[in-house]
Structure 1
């Protein structure tokens, strides 16, 4: 039976519950325990799949095809444990499940209420995989006091009461604001947050306090006294230069020891932190710098490309260089020449996205990288834009475009080298889709296999002939244009096992130009950088030496 750690937040949002959860998971692993991390979100969307990146940041996709909160990306990057669909749930999903059961008559005519039906559904979710790991870390989204979060707080309260004594603990993350006028760290917001938590029946065992300044011993004692926690369970969480310092920083503050003490695990196994010491060494002892331009459409919010930013950092760590990623709005290139903007970069990355806005700018970025021999990585839509660019400027197909944009315009404007995927095979089952289908959960989602061409650049990068990567898209490169494009130098170097769906393209006479239909960034980790990002930054490093 797993032990449960429930992570809640108070005072303000965006304090870093996900990072704290991920770092704690990594520390428990360093002590020899197995972990699984999960996210419970109070919003009413069934999942983040239909949310704008401006609303919620990126959508993290699991191997089994779930569209989840970006915090699951933190969990994977820090622990190496592949997230699953059962690691993420929202109020929308919970209520949807309850209403489906009510319509089927599962409740035998009962009046359906938040307590017990909704809370029971949440508890059933929490109990999934109970016998698989030593610790389940469950993060509750939002902050204590949010009305939409109350069913989740009630559910974890009940869950803790129903489990054997000592099986569950609660960790609360709050803010200690610095008031410059008085020159003080103020503990009152944290006291009120804990009071709110205790009013619904949850008493925190560990208090994690975000702070810009060191927390004086006097304030720690005050927090322990008024929040009813042990003094050594008041953990400071300071701002860090890199998120990958977090495991070592939290260990120095005693977070993992406080958690094990709360479970009365004594003596606690000694931690092996060599993995995170090596990660910190690679970050803070870089031997150079490369500049990468990310040409996208959601550049106002970096969380929209969170996994890409982290994967670039991982690639830099593998090459012992600092990656300076700079975000450029693709729409600029629809009005202006990209040369003044892109000439000073060592590599160009065009990420995924949806809709037509900014796509002509992405096409120009791909053209610039191809013609100037600058390393280029196109991901999902970034690959499709590279294919359209090659079709137009190499194969002479001046009207080459995508059905995605024809569909938006309501009429045919392009010769569609990119088409809407209507059917494909997953796990030996045929899946069919229509343009008119609901938007949520209807894309080609999750992990799929691809076969790599012998002697290709990607076969060298991966070091093997078969790969498995995660997808999230509705449109595909049309295989019918393969011959025409390969004659002009765009090699289709990766295909689905049945040979029908192009997965990877590359330019043969280019130092490093690769487009992939999948999302390699989702599987990259600081201690195991994804091969594509590792080699992409290696190529950028070579360019930086020539400049």
Structure 2
């Protein structure tokens, strides 16, 4: 009997009932963050920065993103539409804002931290099919809104403050159930346990030389029409807002003048907590939620921003992928490279190169001036041969190379083709009839997280055949991997379908490919290296998901270090 992984996985993340406050040792206070005027204003970054400021005052925080789209999760969505898919330790495929939350704070995200309309409706429909509504008419209010509230209230009692970000823009029809649910939660929780922050746009019209408040006024009017009066306005703008302008916004939007916060464009996203602190945002939040804390310790953020703005040197890294026209597709990767640069007091210049361009053009001309080459994860055939050309160029010219997920798999393909002389070696993802499937689909494998044997094949639902989340890996001593981590066993997050084929393992190792990381039972290959290369490493997992600005990931740190050495050697 075939295993339908998609159905099993989705059913397993159905919404849990709300926690009962009577069982909690403390009550959590909730901050609801909405956005108006237009998308991409930075609600995720603002929420993360708020979390960082509250943590700096000794509070514990968590986050939740409520997304209005009907997809159950972003796992099968095109990165051009949605950006990267962020993966948590427990295997949730989530919105990229989960990455911001984890990078800025100590909070650890999981399945309960990201809900979509699709997931909410799916849970309600399954309850209706099981007869849990006793034959009643199922409606948006109260059934959908109650399900949303239950999802939010799971967090009650777990931390001091939970920051709930509502995706989309106020006024969008698909977001109305979420807005209604958080409106109801004000009555359920009380005013000292709930706070509304609205992020909006205050555009600067260059031709007129004026800042315009009308978009913000209309956005707040729309929100108030839905029953929510914001307590704090965070105004995204290009220029500082004068006190007189803040007073005008406060008057027309019915908030206190000191609750109008300027969120000006900053040089680096890691400067945002410092700027919002100077604007008094964290103090206003504590006042309205009636929380007493000591002064914030923001020195680590000051030091971080200083180091970002004052690098000792710089290095250029080529990223060869198929989503280079939308760098949000590689958001965590981009940040992890910045972190790796910070660990080396180095500014990292990223040169995104289309893998499709590499297929038809000379690799040397496109990769000229790059001291390191990175091939990221991805799915599908498009641009694969260009990525293989980049890997071949890095291997033969002794340029530091870092392959992640698909990048690691293609490094194995390149090595098999050009060192073992298996001219048609490939991954079965790219060529199902290849005579030498060095990367293939394992039909059965042991899941160390569930202690169960997993079965999958080509007919399983897309997304259902993925190995997702954190898995252990044992490192081989005297390898680049071991030197980077400094320990024999690690845990990293995965998101991939195809695996290294052990039928070719012996021949590959005999010819110089080093298997430097495997699963504890030695069955799944996790990391490969090349013995006679300055730094050539491919990993099956996604290390970028565990990198933080104040704690750079060791593989990115050492990759940038190797690239710097290459640059110095000329």
Q: TM-score, normalised by structure 2?
A: 0.94
The corresponding residue for 2:13 is none
Partner Cα separation in structure 2 for residue 478 and residue 334 of structure 1: 26
Task: Give per-residue Cα distances to partners, 1:456-484, cap 9 Å, x unaligned.
Answer: 11011110000100000110111121110
Structure 1 residue 259 and structure 2 residue 285: aligned? yes
Which of 359, 367, 373 is the equivalent residue of 2:398? 373
2:386 is paired with a residue whose SS is helix
- Note the alpha carbon deviations across 1:167-217, whole angstroms, 9 max, x for none: 100000000011223211010110111111111111111100000111122
Is 1:3 aligned to 2:29, yes or no?
Answer: yes
Q: Equivalent residue for 1:528? A: 551
| CA positional deviation for 1:406 | 2.3
Q: Residues 441 and 174 from structure 1, CA distance in 2 versus in 1: closer, same or farther, beyond 3 angstroms?
A: farther
Which of 370, 376, 383 lines up with 1:345 in the alignment? 370
Partner SS, residue 63 of structure 1: coil
SS across alignment from 1:82: coil
Matches within 5 A, 1:14-93: 14-93=40-119
SS at match of 1:166: helix
CA contact (8 A) 1:67 1:441 kept: no
Return the alpha-carbon distance in structure 2 between the equivalents of residues 479 and 167 of structure 1: 55
CA deviations over 1:501-526 (Å, ceiling 9, x no partner) = 11000001111000000000000000
Q: Could you tell me how far 1:413 is from its partner in structure 2? A: 3.6
2:425–2:434 CA contact under 8 A, matched in 1: no
- Counterpart Cα distance in 2 of 1:468 and 1:403: 27
| Partner of residue 443, structure 1 | 466
Q: Where does residue 314 of structure 2 map in the other structure? A: 289
Q: Aligned-pair RMSD on alpha carbons?
A: 1.0
Equivalence for 1:113: 139
Q: Please give the secondary structure, in 2, of the residue aligned with 1:75.
A: helix
Secondary structure in 2 matching 1:276: helix
* In structure 2, distance between residues paired with 1:165 and 1:510: 61
Alpha-carbon shift at residue 32 of structure 1 (Å): 0.3
- The whole-number CA distance in structure 2 between the counterparts of 1:431 and 1:257 is 50
2:512 is aligned with 1:493:
no
Matches within 5 A, 1:218-229: 218-229=244-255
- Note the C-alpha offset of 1:33: 0.1
> Are 1:424 and 2:445 counterparts?
yes
Q: CA deviation at 1:414?
A: 4.4
- Tell me the residue number matched to 2:18: none
For residues 24 and 472 of structure 1, the distance between their equivalents in structure 2, rounded to whole angstroms, comes to 29
2:205 is matched with which residue?
179
TM-score (norm 1): 0.98
- Corresponding pairs, count: 542
CA distance 1:209–1:165, shift in 2 (3 Å): closer
> Distance between the aligned counterparts of 2:188 and 2:121, measured in 1?
22
Give 2:480's aligned residue: 457
- Given that 1:49 and 1:441 are in contact with CA atoms closer than 8 Å, whether structure 2 keeps it comes out as no
CA distance in 1, matches of 2:532, 2:512: 7
Equivalent-residue separation in structure 2 for 1:80 and 1:324 (angstroms): 28
Deviations 1:323-369 (A, max 9, x none): 00110001112112201111310100000110011111111111111
Q: Is the 8 A contact 1:6 1:138 kept in 2?
A: yes
1:277 is displaced (CA, Å) by: 1.3
User: 2:350 is paired with a residue of what secondary structure?
Assistant: strand
Separation of aligned partners in 2, 1:362 and 1:227: 52
Question: Could you tell me which residue of structure 2 aligns to residue 477 of structure 1?
Answer: 500
Shift of 1:165: 3.5
Partner residue in 1 for 2:21? none
Residue 349 of structure 2: SS of its match in structure 1? strand
Deviation at 1:421, TM superposition (A): 2.7
Partner secondary structure for residue 431 of structure 2: helix
Deviation at residue 441 of structure 1 after TM alignment: 4.4
Establish whether residue 200 from structure 1 lines up as the match of residue 226 from structure 2: yes
Question: Which residue pairs with 1:300 in the alignment?
Answer: 325
Mapped to 2, the partners of 1:215 and 1:177 lie a distance apart of 11
Deviation track 1:122-178 (CA, whole Å, cap 9, x = no partner) reads 000001131110000000000100000000000001111111341100000000011
Deviation per residue, 1:294-323 (Å, 9 max, x gap): 000111100000100000000001110000
Structure-2 change in CA distance of 1:259 and 1:414 (3 Å): farther
Distance 2:456 2:47 in 1: 37
Q: 1:415 aligns with which of 422, 429, 436?
A: 436
Q: Distance in 1 between matches of 2:258 and 2:341?
A: 37
> Which residues of structure 1 form unaligned runs of 5+?
none
> CA distance change for structure 1 residues 441 and 253 in 2, over 3 Å: closer, same or farther?
farther
> Structure 1 203/345 Cα, relative in aligned 2: closer, same or farther at 3 Å?
same
Which residue matches 2:10?
Answer: none
Match of 1:242 among 244, 254, 268: 268
Distance 1:249 1:389 in 2: 47
Quote how far apart the aligned CAs of 1:377 are.
0.2
